């Protein structure tokens, strides 16, 4: 059994079980109709959620609210334990109950989650007390040098085989860049890597440090197509081994070195610093330190790019994602991201929001995952399939509704005048 499965089973241990008053009426069996207090709890939950157009369908067939339209989305609650857990901590327990199958969404999962996100009050309009309580209850795990390996292994050591089932052939597990909305995922991941390389204006012979390299696709792409040498860091043993094997097989191991280490231990100098999809796992407390590492590494002509999931307004990561899928993760706002750059005087040249490109990327991943769900079920179990569908669909809904953003930020050493005159070169046709 994987660590991941144990984690999900932990979620099933009913630590937030039926409260005392849930059983105050001894006649209430598992199948009895909902009590008035249970109906009240659901109505309060709807208000808390900003009154999305959804209807609860309870274990006995009762519906709440009574009326609905053809557009109303339905959520089936199969038992009263689940109702109470949902009412008490919806952020965390929606996902846990969905995983166990005691909650079911009728019809299109992405559409249901979009309805929830669109109705949710903006962070600045939530009751401060409820917000504070939620943040404390579902506080993120720390990201010290000691904690980070656990947080990262939790997700990435599920096995390369698993991710190969539904990622593109280069195993890129970050937002793609779709030249047109009908580009394939493979085209779009290559286009993303080119977009990043062009933004960085890589020159043959230059040195690159990559922080958080995943399965190493970007480092290989840079070496193969732009003639640079790359030192790429990652905490995941399985990913590093895969990246090393693949670089050797493709004859790129002279140009690319994959190093299994924390970004905090990066040493040496480079012309270019790049990090795609790591900042959201770094934790806000470490942004200034990350900037300090970039400052230590970067040559006087140095430039870099940070690519990260982000937010319009500060808000903790969804508790279920943070606890069950990506421990320690936090998507910052653009203002918060500046804490990496501003203390060290880096000069920001370009910020691009690729939110809809991440939605499109997730559409592809979810479709591929769904096509391989039988294989995933055999390897793990049905709970695992449901959890990962929820994670992919929830992320997709997050990007389509603007709950999540994706920023690519290009920066340089201050006062560097050897920069692109305009951004035309990013959009020029290549021969």
- Which of 262, 339, 370, 381 binds a copy of itself (CB under 8 A)? It is 339
Residue whose CB is less far from a copy of itself, 195 or 324: 195
Q: Determine the interface stretch with a copy of itself among 27-35, 90-98, 141-149, 307-315 (rule: CB under 8 A).
A: 307-315
Residue whose CB is less far from a copy of itself, 103 or 340: 340
Interface with a copy of itself includes 349 (CB under 8 A)?
yes
Interface with a copy of itself includes 296 (CB under 8 A)?
no
Radius of gyration of the chain, Cα coordinates, nearest whole angstrom: 23
Q: Is 339 exposed, middle or buried (0-12, 13-18, 19+ CB in 10 A)?
A: middle
Interface with a copy of itself includes 334 (CB under 8 A)?
yes
Interface with a copy of itself includes 338 (CB under 8 A)?
yes
Residue whose CB is less far from a copy of itself, 30 or 424: 424
Q: Which long-range contacts (CB under 8 A, 24 or more apart) does 228-231 make?
A: 228/202, 228/203, 228/204, 228/255, 228/272, 229/205, 229/255, 229/256, 229/257, 230/255, 230/256, 230/257, 231/207, 231/256, 231/257, 231/259, 231/268, 231/270
Q: Kindly write down the DSSP assignment for every residue of 253-321, as one continuous string.
A: TTTEEEEES-GGG--S-EEEEEEES-GGGT-GGGHHHHHHHHHHHEEEEEEEEEEEEEBSS--PPPHHI
Give the integer Cα–Cα distance in Å for 186 and 167. 9
Residue whose CB is less far from a copy of itself, 26 or 128: 128
Residue whose CB is less far from a copy of itself, 230 or 410: 410
Give the integer Cα–Cα distance in Å for 135 and 92. 11
Nearest approach, Cβ of 167 to a copy of itself (angstroms)?
Answer: 23
Nearest approach, Cβ of 164 to a copy of itself (angstroms)?
Answer: 29
Interface with a copy of itself includes 123 (CB under 8 A)?
yes
Q: Which of residues 92-121 bind a copy of itself (CB under 8 A)?
A: 118
| Interface map 31-70 toward a copy of itself (x if CB under 8 A) | ----------------------------------------
Strands 405-412 and 298-310: antiparallel
Nearest approach, Cβ of 181 to a copy of itself (angstroms)?
Answer: 6
Q: Determine the interface stretch with a copy of itself among 78-86, 231-239, 328-336, 380-388 (rule: CB under 8 A).
A: 328-336
Residue whose CB is less far from a copy of itself, 125 or 139: 125
Asked whether the CA dihedral 144, 145, 149, 155 is positive or negative, the reply is positive
Structure tokens at 208: 């690159």
- For residues 387 and 99, the answer to whether their CB atoms sit within 8 Å is yes
Task: List residues binding a copy of itself (CB under 8 A).
Answer: 118, 122-124, 177-181, 312-314, 333-335, 338-339, 341-353, 355-356, 400-403, 405, 414-417, 419, 421-424, 426-428
């Amino acid at each position: 059994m994987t660590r991941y499965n144990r984690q999900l089973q932990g979620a099933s241990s009913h630590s937030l079980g039926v409260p005392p008053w849930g059983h105050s009426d001894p006649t209430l069996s598992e199948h009895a109709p909902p009590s008035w207090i249970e109906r009240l709890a659901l109505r309060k939950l709807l208000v808390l959620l900003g009154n999305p157009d959804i209807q609860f369908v309870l274990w006995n067939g009762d519906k709440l609210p009574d009326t609905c339209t053809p557009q109303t989305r339905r959520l089936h609650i199969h038992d009263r334990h689940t109702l109470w857990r949902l009412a008490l901590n919806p952020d965390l327990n929606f996902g846990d109950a969905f995983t166990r199958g005691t909650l079911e969404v009728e019809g299109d999962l992405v559409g249901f989650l979009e309805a929830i996100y669109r109705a949710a009050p903006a962070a600045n309009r939530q009751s401060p007390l409820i917000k504070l309580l939620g943040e404390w209850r579902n506080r993120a795990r720390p990201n010290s040098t000691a904690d980070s390996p656990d947080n990262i292994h939790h997700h990435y050591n599920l096995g390369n085989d698993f991710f190969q089932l539904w990622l593109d052939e280069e195993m890129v597990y970050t937002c793609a860049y779709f030249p047109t909305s009908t580009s394939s995922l493979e085209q779009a991941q290559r286009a993303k890597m080119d977009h990043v390389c062009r933004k960085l204006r890589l020159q043959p012979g230059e040195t690159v440090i990559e922080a958080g390299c995943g399965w190493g696709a970007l480092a290989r792409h840079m070496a193969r197509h732009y003639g640079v040498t790359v030192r790429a860091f990652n905490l995941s043993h399985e990913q590093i081994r895969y990246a090393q094997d693949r670089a050797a097989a493709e004859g790129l191991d002279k140009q690319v070195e994959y190093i299994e280490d924390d970004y905090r231990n990066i040493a040496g100098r480079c012309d270019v610093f790049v990090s795609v999809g790591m900042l959201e796992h770094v934790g806000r407390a470490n942004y200034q330190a990350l900037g300090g590492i970039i400052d230590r590494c970067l040559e006087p002509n140095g430039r870099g790019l940070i690519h990260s999931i982000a937010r319009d307004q500060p808000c903790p990561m969804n508790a279920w994602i943070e606890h069950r899928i990506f421990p320690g993760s936090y998507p910052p706002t653009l203002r918060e991201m500046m804490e990496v750059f501003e203390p060290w005087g880096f000069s920001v040249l370009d910020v691009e929001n690729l939110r809809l490109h991440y939605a499109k990327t997730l559409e592809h991943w979810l479709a591929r995952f769904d096509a391989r769900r039988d294989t995933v079920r055999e390897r793990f179990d049905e709970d695992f399939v449901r959890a990962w569908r929820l994670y992919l669909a929830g992320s997709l809904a997050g990007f389509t509704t603007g709950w999540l953003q994706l920023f690519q930020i290009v920066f340089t050493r201050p006062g560097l005048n050897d920069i692109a005159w305009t951004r035309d070169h990013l959009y020029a046709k290549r021969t």
